[in-house]
C-alpha cells in the first residue's frame, strides 16, 4: 500500500536567544530542527512557475504537500524533508498555502 505522506518535514527554529560573536555580528546559539509533521515532495520537472506574494513569477524547485491541518510555514523559513535520518530535500519556503484537502509549500 502506498502512503500518502511517507516523509517528515522539519523547520529550523530560530527563536532561541542570539549572542554577539567576536566581530559584533549576532548569531543564533541554539538552533534546533522542529518536526512539523508528515509530508510528501514532488520535484518541478516541468519548470512550472508560481506568483509570489510580491507578484513576481518564480520557477520553484519542488512542492511539498502536507495534511490540511498542521503547522503553518512562513516565507523564508528553512526546511528539510527527511526519510528517516536521510535528508531528501532542503531549502527555503517561497510560498505557503493551506487549502481544503492539503497544505502546500513551494521551495
Which domains, and CATH codes, for the chain?
Answer: 7-15+32-106 (2.40.10)
* Residues lower than pLDDT 70 in the chain: 14-19, 26-30
pLDDT for res 104? 95
pLDDT value of residue 1:
83
Whole-number Cα distances in Å, 52 to 4, 14, 43: 27, 23, 18
pLDDT of residue 6: 96
pTM for this model (two decimals): 0.80
| pLDDT single digits (tens) 13-37 | 866 566 677 787 766 666 789 999 9
Determine contact, residues 37/66, Cβ cutoff 8 Å. Answer: yes
Contact 34, 65 (CB under 8 A): no
Amino acid at each position: 500500500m502506498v502512503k500518502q505522506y511517507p516523509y517528515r518535514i522539519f523547520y529550523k527554529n530560530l527563536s532561541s536567544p542570539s549572542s554577539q560573536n567576536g566581530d559584533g555580528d549576532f548569531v543564533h546559539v541554539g538552533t534546533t530542527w522542529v518536526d512539523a509533521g508528515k509530508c510528501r515532495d514532488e520535484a518541478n520537472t516541468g519548470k512550472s512557475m508560481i506568483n509570489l506574494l510580491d507578484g513576481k513569477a518564480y520557477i520553484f524547485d519542488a512542492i511539498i504537500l502536507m495534511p490540511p491541518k498542521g503547522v503553518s510555514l512562513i516565507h523564508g523559513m528553512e526546511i528539510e524533508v527527511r526519510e528517516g535520518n536521510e535528508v531528501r530535500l532542503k531549502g527555503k519556503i517561497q510560498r505557503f498555502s493551506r487549502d481544503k484537502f492539503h497544505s502546500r509549500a513551494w521551495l
